[in-house]
C-alpha cells in the first residue's frame, strides 16, 4: 500500500510537519494523528476505507517520519502538540471544521486540542482510539472513582512509562533491537497486524520525549479540561496498555460522549481497520447529517454518573416496562448509558424511557412483541439507524407459567416457549450479526432463571424455557467469542418483580388464592428488582458466563454442580403454593 506524497506545513515554533492528503476533495475532511512509536504510515490501511467519499489528511508528528524534531524537550509538550494539530487543520480545511481521529499518543494530544478553548471550534468531532486525556487520567488516579483495584490494574499496564523515563536505557533497548522484539510481541495481542510497521529509528528515539515532557506534570498536577466537541472513545477489548474504565471516565468531562468496545488489540487499526472505520464513519455521518442529539448539562452529579462503566454506550432492553427490565434501564442510565426501552406494553416502555432519560438524555421507547421475528428485525434496523450498533442488548422479556405438566395446556406451552425462548432467539438473531460486523466488543445478555438448573414438579414449562435460554447463551458465547461479542445468562432467584400477577397457573387450586400465596412468598423474600439490576450491572463489567441473582440462585447453581441428586429429590417436594 503506497503512501501519498507529502508537503510541509510550518508549526507555530518553526518546526516543519510532513502532511499527506488523499481521497475525495469534496467529502468531509478526516485528520488522523498517529501515536508512538509510529509515523503517519500507520493509518494507510485505515485511510483506504475512506478515500472514496472522504478527504483524508495524515501528518508525521514532530520528531517522527519526515517531520523535523525540536532540539529541546519542551518542544514536545502537549500545548505545542495541540497547536500543531490546529495548525494542520487550519491549513487543510480553513473554512470548515475537521473530524479528528487519534490513536495512542495521537489520541492524547488530540484530547488536548479538543479540550483547548482556542482550538475546539476547529473540530466537528473527535474519535479517540486507545488514548486518554492525561489530565482526565490524572484526576481518575487521584479520585479512583472505579475503586483501588481498577487503579492498580491500570498502573500495572502503564509500567512501561516508568521505563521510558530512565536515562539512556530505553534508547539502548531500541537501538539493540530488544525493544523492537518486545513491541512485536505486544502487537500480536488481540490479533496483531499482518504486515510489519514502517518505523524508523528516529520514530523510536525522538518519541520518548513525549513521555518525558508530559507524563509527570499532567498526571501529578491535572487541570480540569472539558469539551463540547462530540467525542467517541473506541476501546479495544485486548488492549495491553489501557483498561476500559480509564477511558469511559471521559464522560465526566465531555457533554456528548459515545463509548464503544471493539474486538482486537492496541494496533487493530492496522490489522482490522474496518472495525475502527465503521465506528468513525457512523459518527462522521451523524455529525454531517446535522441531526440534533440530546446533551446533558454536566452538573457535578451528572459528571460523576456519566463517567461510569456504561458512559456513552447504547443499551437495548426488552421487557423494559416493568420488573427487572425497568430497573435495569434505570441502573444502566444511572451509569451513563442511553436506553432503548422495549416492551409489548407501549405506554409502560414510554414511561421507562421518560424516567431513564432524566438520568441520561437520549432514551427512547419502542413497542415490540418479541415473539415476532420480523418486528425484532425491524427494531434492530431502527436502533442501528438512530443510535448506531448497540453496545449492550438485554433480552429480558418473559412470562411465568406454573402448574403440573399434566395440567398445563398446549396453548400455555406454546405461549411460554414463544416469549421466553423464541423472544431471546429473535433478539440474538436480530442484533448479533450487526455486533459482529461492527468489530465486536458488544454484549448480549439473556435473562434465564435459577429455575434453569433447579428442577421443580410444578414449573416444568417455565423451567424448560429458562434451561433452553441458559444453554443457548452458553453455546452462543462459545460461537461469538472469536468475534469479540460477549454473551451472559442472568439467572435470578426469587425477585419480587410482579411476574406472578400475570402468570398462567394450572392445577394449583383457586388461581387468585395461589397467586396471592406466591406473591406473599416473593414479598417475604424481599429481593427487589432494583437490587437485582444493580447486581447485574456490576457483574456485566466482567462479562461472566452466568450471573446468579439472589442467594438461593447462587446456592442452587453450586448444588447443581456438586450434588444434582439432592436437587432431584427436592424437585419431588410440593412447593408452598
Rounded to whole angstroms, how far apart are CA atoms 260 and 438? 10
Looking at 76, 462, 522, 527, which residue is catalytic? 462
The C-alpha cell that represents 534 in the structure block: 444493580
Among 351, 347, 395, 393, which Cα is nearest to 371's? 395
DSSP classification of residue 321:
T
Among 566, 547, 551, which Cα is nearest to 455's? 566
CATH architecture under which domain 6-289 falls: 3-Layer(aba) Sandwich (3.40)
User: What is the β-pairing status of strands 6-10 and 16-23?
Assistant: antiparallel
Kindly report, residue by residue over 24-39, the tens digit of the pLDDT.
999 999 999 999 999 9
Position 486 scores a pLDDT of: 95
Rounded to whole angstroms, how far apart are CA atoms 119 and 112? 9
Position 303 scores a pLDDT of: 43
**Does residue 558 come out as left (phi exceeding 0), alpha (psi in the -120 to 50 range) or beta?**
alpha
Position 506 scores a pLDDT of: 61
DSSP classification of residue 73:
G
Domain assignments of the chain as residue spans, ordered by start = 6-289, 313-571
What are the helix (H) ranges across 129-227?
A: 134-143, 148-157, 159-164, 169-176, 178-187, 201-206, 208-220
Among 210, 163, 167, 281, which Cα is nearest to 38's? 210
Among 453, 447, 461, which Cα is nearest to 400's? 461
Are 443 and 486 a contacting pair, CB within 8 Å? Answer: yes
Measured CA to CA in angstroms, residue 38 lies from 48, 68, 115, 240 at distances of: 18, 15, 24, 17
- Does the annotation mark 462 as catalytic? yes
Position 291 scores a pLDDT of: 75
**234 pairs with which residues across the strands?**
129, 260
Are 188 and 182 a contacting pair, CB within 8 Å? Answer: no
Kindly report, residue by residue over 52-96, the tens digit of the pLDDT.
999 999 999 999 999 999 999 999 999 999 999 999 999 999 999
Number of CB atoms found within 10 A of residue 428's CB: 21
What pTM value is reported for the model?
0.86
Position 479 scores a pLDDT of: 97
Are 43 and 110 a contacting pair, CB within 8 Å? Answer: no
| Tally: H helices and E strands in the chain | 24, 17
Position 125 scores a pLDDT of: 97
Task: Starting at the earlier edge strand, list the strands of the sheet with 392-395.
Answer: 364-367, 338-343, 314-318, 392-395, 443-447, 486-492, 546-549
3-state secondary structure of 343: strand
What are the helix (H) ranges across 263-308?
A: 268-271, 273-289, 300-305
Q: Which residue has the cell 429481593?
A: 527
3.40.50.620, 3.40.190.10, 3.40.50.720, 3.40.630.10: which CATH number matches 313-571? 3.40.50.720
Position 436 scores a pLDDT of: 94
Position 535 scores a pLDDT of: 93
Among 284, 275, 359, 373, which Cα is nearest to 315's? 359
Query: Angle at Cα 523 formed by Cα 539 and Cα 322, nearest 5°?
Result: 60
Position 518 scores a pLDDT of: 54
Position 519 scores a pLDDT of: 53
Rounded to whole angstroms, how far apart are CA atoms 204 and 545? 41
Low-confidence ranges of the chain (pLDDT < 70): 1-2, 190-195, 292-308, 496, 498-526, 574-577
Is 6-289's fold the same as 313-571's?
Answer: yes
Rounded to whole angstroms, how far apart are CA atoms 214 and 394? 42
Distance between alpha carbon 296 and the CA centroid of its chain, in Å?
20
Amino acid at each position: 500500500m503506497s503512501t501519498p506524497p507529502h508537503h510541509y506545513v510550518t508549526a507555530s515554533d518553526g518546526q516543519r510537519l510532513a502532511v499527506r492528503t488523499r481521497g475525495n476533495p469534496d467529502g468531509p475532511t478526516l485528520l488522523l494523528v498517529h501515536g508512538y512509536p509510529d509515523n503517519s504510515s500507520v493509518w494507510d490501511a485505515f485511510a483506504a476505507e475512506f478515500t472514496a467519499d472522504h478527504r483524508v489528511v495524515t501528518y508525521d508528528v514532530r520528531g517522527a517520519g519526515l517531520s523535523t524534531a525540536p532540539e529541546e524537550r519542551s518542544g514536545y509538550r502537549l500545548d505545542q502538540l495541540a497547536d500543531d494539530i490546529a495548525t494542520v487543520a487550519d491549513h487543510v480545511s480553513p473554512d470548515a471544521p475537521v473530524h479528528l481521529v487519534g490513536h495512542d499518543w495521537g489520541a492524547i494530544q488530540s484530547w488536548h486540542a479538543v479540550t483547548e478553548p482556542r482550538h475546539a471550534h476547529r473540530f466537528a468531532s473527535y474519535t479517540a482510539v486507545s488514548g486518554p486525556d492525561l489530565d482526565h487520567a490524572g484526576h481518575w488516579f487521584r479520585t479512583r472513582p472505579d475503586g483501588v483495584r481498577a487503579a492498580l490494574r491500570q498502573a500495572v499496564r502503564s509500567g512501561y512509562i516508568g521505563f521510558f523515563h530512565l536515562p539512556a536505557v530505553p534508547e539502548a533497548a531500541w537501538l539493540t533491537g530488544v525493544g523492537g522484539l518486545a513491541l512485536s510481541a505486544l502487537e500480536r495481542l488481540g490479533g496483531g497486524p499482518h504486515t510489519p510497521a514502517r518505523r524508523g529509528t528516529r520514530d523510536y528515539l525522538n518519541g520518548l520525549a513525549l513521555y518525558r515532557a508530559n507524563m509527570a506534570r499532567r498526571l501529578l498536577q491535572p487541570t480540569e479540561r472539558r469539551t463540547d466537541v462530540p467525542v467517541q472513545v473506541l476501546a479495544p477489548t485486548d488492549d495491553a496498555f489501557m483498561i476500559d474504565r480509564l477511558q469511559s471516565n471521559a464522560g465526566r468531562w465531555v457533554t456528548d460522549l459515545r463509548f464503544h468496545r471493539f474486538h482486537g488489540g492496541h494496533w487493530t487499526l492496522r490489522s482490522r481497520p474496518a472495525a475502527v472505520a465503521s465506528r468513525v464513519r457512523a459518527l462522521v455521518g451523524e455529525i454531517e447529517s446535522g441531526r440534533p442529539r440530546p446533551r446533558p448539562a454536566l452538573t457535578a452529579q451528572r459528571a460523576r454518573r456519566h463517567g461510569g462503566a456504561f458512559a456513552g454506550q447504547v443499551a437495548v432492553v426488552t421487557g423494559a416496562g416493568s420488573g427487572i427490565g425497568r430497573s435495569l434501564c434505570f441502573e444502566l442510565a444511572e451509569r451513563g448509558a442511553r436506553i432503548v426501552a422495549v416492551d409489548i406494553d407501549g405506554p409502560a416502555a414510554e414511561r421507562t424511557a421518560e424516567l431513564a432519560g432524566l438520568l441520561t438524555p437520549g432514551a427512547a421507547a419502542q413497542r415490540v412483541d418479541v415473539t415476532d421475528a420480523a418486528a425484532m428485525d425491524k427494531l434492530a434496523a431502527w436502533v442501528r439507524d438512530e443510535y448506531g450498533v448497540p453496545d449492550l442488548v438485554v433480552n429480558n422479556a418473559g412470562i411465568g407459567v406454573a402448574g403440573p405438566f399434566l395440567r398445563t395446556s398446549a396453548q400455555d406451552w406454546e405461549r411460554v416457549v414463544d416469549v421466553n425462548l423464541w423472544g431471546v432467539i429473535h433478539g440474538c438473531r436480530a442484533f448479533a450479526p450487526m455486533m459482529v460486523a461492527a468489530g465486536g466488543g458488544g454484549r448480549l445478555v439473556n435473562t434465564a432463571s435459577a429455575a434453569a438448573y433447579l428442577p421443580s414438579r410444578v414449573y416444568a414449562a417455565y423451567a424448560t424455557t429458562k434451561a433452553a435460554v441458559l444453554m443457548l447463551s452458553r453455546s452462543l458465547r462459545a460461537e461469538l467469542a472469536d468475534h469479540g461479542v460477549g454473551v451472559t445468562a442472568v439467572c435470578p432467584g426469587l425477585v419480587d418483580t410482579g411476574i406472578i400477577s400475570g402468570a398462567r397457573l394450572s392445577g394449583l387450586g383457586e388461581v387468585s388464592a395461589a397467586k396471592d400465596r406466591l406473591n406473599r412468598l416473593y414479598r417475604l423474600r424481599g429481593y427487589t428488582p432494583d437490587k437485582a439490576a444493580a447486581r447485574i450491572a456490576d457483574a456485566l463489567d466482567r462479562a461472566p458466563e452466568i450471573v446468579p441473582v439472589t442467594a438461593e440462585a447462587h446456592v442452587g447453581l453450586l448444588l447443581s454442580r456438586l450434588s444434582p441428586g439432592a436437587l432431584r429429590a427436592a424437585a419431588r417436594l410440593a412447593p408452598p403454593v
